[in-house]
């Protein structure tokens, strides 16, 4: 017989990301962030390869990255609007954790499974931050997919990619809930 955890299920059924632009200081201390990172690291990881890692971005690093977004955006020909939007995510954030997809060579575990594991880490990190009482949001945007930004700004190796940037802070506004998927249109039941 299963041992239900209605409190956990209720959290998952009602969880809601907080817009990054509404997050303000204070952010979790290093001590408060450790259990959040620990929970995220418990994500499914076929083969125990740990094909991901964390880069914790504190305020000075976020401001440096915002300047790099502006520089890279201009070099890439991004619009002023796209540059401002991407830079503001770093300028306004009190703390962020970049989840880095870092697939490992393996004859048994396909790279795509390792990349999906990094995505699972992003969601687990987001949910752990929310469950800890913080406001949090999972973003990426064009800078996260720019090899120049990733290499220069985050020191990523050629085989590494940003799976997501989880912004964490104190929420200042809770937006109304958004429409959720209609399960009947996205679910197929197979009984034979």
Domain-embedded: residue 192: no
**CA angle in degrees (0–180, nearest 5) for 127-161-64:** 85
In CATH, what number is assigned to the domain containing residue 154? 3.40.109.10
pLDDT, tens digit, for every residue of 59-80? 999 999 999 999 999 999 999 9
The Cα-based distances of 30 to 26, 39, 66, 121, 136 in angstroms read: 12, 15, 22, 19, 16
Q: Was 191 annotated as part of a binding site?
A: no
**Is the model's pTM score more than 0.85?**
yes
Domain-embedded: residue 5: no
| Per-residue pLDDT at 64 | 98
Domain-embedded: residue 86: yes
Distance CA(191)–CA(170), nearest Å, equals 46
Q: Was 16 annotated as part of a binding site?
A: yes
Q: Was 139 annotated as part of a binding site?
A: yes
Domain-embedded: residue 159: yes
Q: What is the CA radius of gyration of the chain?
A: 18
How many structural domains are present in the chain?
A: 1
Q: Was 106 annotated as part of a binding site?
A: no
The answer to whether 122 and 99 are in contact (CB under 8 A) is yes
Q: Was 70 annotated as part of a binding site?
A: no
Please give the average per-residue pLDDT across 109-119, as a whole number: 97
| pLDDT over 90 at 176, yes or no | no
Q: Was 15 annotated as part of a binding site?
A: yes
Domain that holds residue 110: 16-186
């Amino acid at each position: 017989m299963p041992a239900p955890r209605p409190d956990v299920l209720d959290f998952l059924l009602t969880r809601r990301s907080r817009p990054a632009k509404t997050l303000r200081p204070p952010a979790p201390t290093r001590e408060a962030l450790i259990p959040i990172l620990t929970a995220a690291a418990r994500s499914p990881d076929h083969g125990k390869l740990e094909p991901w890692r964390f880069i914790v971005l504190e305020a000075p690093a976020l401001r440096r990255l915002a300047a790099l977004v502006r520089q890279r955006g201009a070099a890439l020909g991004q619009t002023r609007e796209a540059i401002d939007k991407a830079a503001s995510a770093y300028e306004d954030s009190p703390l962020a954790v970049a989840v880095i997809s870092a697939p490992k060579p393996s004859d048994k575990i396909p790279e795509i499974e390792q990349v999906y594991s990094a995505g699972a880490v992003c969601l687990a990190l987001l949910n752990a931050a929310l469950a800890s009482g913080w406001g949090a949001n999972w973003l990426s945007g064009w800078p996260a997919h720019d090899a120049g930004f990733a290499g220069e700004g985050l020191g990523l190796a050629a085989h590494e990619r940003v799976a997501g940037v989880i912004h964490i802070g104190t929420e200042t506004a809770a937006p109304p809930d958004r429409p959720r998927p209609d399960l009947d249109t996205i679910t197929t039941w197979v009984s034979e």
